Every structure is written in C-alpha cells, then in structure tokens.
C-alpha cells in the first residue's frame, strides 16, 4: 500500500502545484464574467491524444507539460495538458502505473491514494465533497475542492486499466458562485461556471487501451480474413514470405518522403528524438496504413501524418505487384 500511495500521490503534484499558483482576483469580479473566451463557440476545440487514448474540448489550445516522477516503484512519466484563462484554469493529465491489476480493489486503492496524496501535498486545499462516478466500465471519483479559500474546483479521476486520468477545472469563488461563497448545491453556482464545466467534463472520452489495434495490424488482419491473394513482403532484402511480417527501414525506398512538421505543443515541451512508424504500402506505392511503433507521444501524430502522405516505388516480385510492410524512422530535433 505504501508503494501505491507514493506512486499515485506524486502524480497529483502537478495539479496541486498549478492550483496553488492561482492568484487572488481583483475586487468586484462579476459572477458571469463578460467578455469571457468560453462564451464563444468558436473558442472550443477538440483536443485528442492518440497515445493517451482520450479526447476532450478545450476553450483553446492547451500547453503540454511532461514530468518524470521518482516513486518507490521506479520512475514514471506524467503527461499534462493545461490552459489558463483570465477567469478559469483547465487541466487534463495521465500517467501509467508500473505494476497494476484490473480488479476493482486496485482501482479503489488507487483512487483513495490519489485523493490522499493530493490533499497531503497541498495544505491550502479543502475537500468539500467526494462521490463515485464512472466512465464506461471504469470507475472514478469526483472531488469538489476549495483552494486557499479563493478558488473553487471540480476534479475527476479515473482508473482505466493501468492508467490514471485526472481532469480538473478551477475558478475564483466570485466566478463560480452567485454569492461568492462555496456551496455543495449545484444551483448556487453561476450559469457561466455550470455551463462551462459541463461542456469541459462531458466532452471527455477515453478509449480502452485493450480494444485499440494499430491501423496496419488491423488492415493486415482484414486482408487475411478476406483471403486476398496478396503477397506481403518485408521492406528489406530478406526473403519474401506469404505471412504478414514486419521489419526493415524503408526511408531510402521512398520516392517522396514527406518531412513532418514540428508540432507547437511538442516545441513547448522540448520534445525530441526518433519516432518509428510501421507502414503498409499498397500495390501503387501509396501508404495504405500507418501506426507508431515507438517514439515521443507528442511527436507521434506528426510522424503518422507525414508517413501517410509519403510515396514509394511500387514493388513487384516475379513480375507480380506486392504489398510491402516496413518501418519509416523520423528524427525530431528540439527547436
């Protein structure tokens, strides 16, 4: 239990730090701030993380923060996406357990430890209420908190197999409540806070990692099920095989190897390094499917996009067109 508490408790340190950095508002902030960015429908954009297996609406573009955390079980990485606006603060993060179990007891202990760690690391935080919630088949908690007697926040946590998700929204008491005082009654909150929180939290969607299959693997499976008379070979000098196999770096075989754009969110986090993309090249030399094998989470989407737009010389074996499975490696240098 000690190991679990340390692991989950540390994961909440980024959120606790962000909450603690909120500043006192100037006097007489109206309960429904005008103008507020959140009032504009055009401000809300879907943010998705293929590696994090989630999507959510933000009133703009969040900033990525990556921390490597030392725990009793070893080092873990926490991926956070945050946004500060004049009246509100938004936070989404996830981290993976080193060791986990799919049973209900593990999820309960994880959520308990996360709550205890959050409160222990932030003495200015008061827990007003806690209730059980769920997303699909996975359990979670919703916490109502007051930070430093100034801000009110809603935080939701979920355990999805070996991953802990945290979603939070925070606003000054004057903005969150009609009378500027914390209350457990939802009807005491301002229309602005209620509608904004609903849009933010209700948009959160998560995909069970156990149900995700790479695009290349899925297409290979479909070809096999349909018993297509297509020979799939490696993108290297290895002997051909009738079985779908992967391997071989094929950068040099491209007619047009598209260079990926360095994502702004990755630049802000100084993300860099190689990203390996597994591709299935069709009979005409086009990339029919692509999936990431390895690489930094914030660079993967850009690598996938570039791979799909690349073009290769059609391959023939004994005069017969064949499909090719290979690896494209992109090396990102921090800018």
Assign 3-class secondary structure to the chain. Answer: CHHHHHHHHHHCHHHHHHHHCCCCCCCCCCCCCCCCHHHCHHHCEEEEECCCCEEEEECCCCEEEEEEEEECCEEEEEEEEEEECCCCEEEEEEEECCCCCCCHHHHHHHHHHHHHHHHHHCCCEEEEEEEEEEECCEEEEEEEEEECCCEEEEEEEEEECCEEEEEEEEEEHHHHECCCCCCCCHHHECHHHHHHHHHHHHCCEECCHHHCCCHHHHHHHHHHHCCCCCCEEECCCCCCCCCCCCCCECHHHEEECCCCCCCHHHHHCCCCEEEEEEEEECCCCEEEEEEEEECCCCCHHHHHHHHHCCEECCEEECCEEEEEEEEEEEEECCC
Distance CA 260, CA 268 (A): 17
What pTM was computed for the model?
Answer: 0.67
214-234 burial code (b ≥16 CB/10 A, e <16): ebbbebbeebeeeeeebbbbb
Instruction: Show the low-confidence residues of the chain (pLDDT under 70).
Output: 1-34, 71-73, 209-213, 227-248, 335
Measured N-to-C along each axis, helices 104-121 and 2-11 cross at an angle, to the nearest 10 degrees, of: 60
Half-sphere exposure of 265 (CA within 13 A, CB side): 22
Per-residue model confidence as pLDDT tens digits over 235-281 = 443 433 443 333 467 777 889 999 998 888 788 778 888 999 989 99
Contacts of 287 (CB under 8 A, 6+ apart): 279, 280, 281, 307, 308, 309, 310, 311, 312
The two structure tokens encoding residue 261: 């754009």
The pair of three-digit structure tokens given for residue 195, joined into one six-digit string: 């509608």
Three state DSSP letters for 152-200: EEEEEEEEECCEEEEEEEEEEHHHHECCCCCCCCHHHECHHHHHHHHHH
Query: Are β-strands 254-256 and 273-281 bridged in parallel, bridged antiparallel, or unpaired?
Result: unpaired
What does the pLDDT read at residue 146? 96
Q: What are the chain's domains? A: 2-209 (3.40.1000.10), 213-332 (3.30.2420.10)
Which tens digit of pLDDT belongs to each residue from 98-133? 777 778 888 898 899 888 888 888 889 999 999 999
The pLDDT of residue 174: 93
């Amino acid at each position: 239990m000690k190991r679990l508490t340390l692991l989950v408790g540390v994961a909440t340190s980024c959120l606790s730090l962000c909450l603690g950095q909120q500043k006192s508002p100037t006097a007489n902030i109206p309960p429904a701030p005008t103008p507020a960015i959140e009032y504009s429908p055009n401000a809300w954009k879907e943010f998705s993380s293929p590696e994090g297996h989630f999507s959510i609406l933000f009133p703009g573009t969040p900033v990525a923060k990556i921390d490597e955390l030392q725990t009793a079980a070893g080092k873990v990485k926490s991926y956070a996406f945050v946004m500060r606006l004049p009246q509100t603060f938004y936070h989404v993060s996830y981290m993976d357990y080193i060791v986990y179990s799919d049973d209900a007891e593990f999820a309960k202990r994880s959520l308990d430890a996360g709550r205890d760690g959050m409160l222990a690391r932030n003495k200015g935080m008061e827990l007003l209420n806690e209730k059980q919630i769920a997303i699909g088949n996975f359990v979670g908690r919703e916490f109502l908190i007051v930070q430093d007697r100034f801000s009110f926040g809603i935080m939701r946590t979920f355990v999805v197999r070996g991953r802990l998700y945290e979603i939070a929204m925070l606003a000054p008491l004057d903005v969150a409540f009609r009378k500027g005082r914390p209350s457990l009654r939802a009807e005491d909150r301002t229309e602005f806070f209620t509608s904004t929180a609903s849009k933010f939290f209700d948009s959160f969607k998560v995909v069970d990692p156990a149900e995700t299959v790479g695009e290349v693997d899925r297409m290979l499976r479909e070809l096999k099920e349909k018993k297509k008379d297509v020979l799939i070979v490696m993108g290297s000098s290895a002997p051909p095989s009738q079985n779908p196999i992967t391997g071989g770096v094929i950068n040099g075989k491209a007619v047009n190897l598209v260079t990926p754009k360095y994502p702004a969110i990755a630049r802000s986090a100084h993300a860099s390094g190689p990203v390996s993309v597994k591709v299935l090249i069709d009979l005409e030399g086009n990339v029919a499917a692509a999936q990431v094998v390895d690489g930094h989470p914030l660079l993967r989407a850009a690598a996938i996009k570039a791979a799909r737009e690349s073009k290769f010389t059609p391959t023939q074996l004994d005069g017969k067109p064949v499909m090719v499975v290979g690896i494209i490696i992109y090396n990102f240098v921090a800018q």
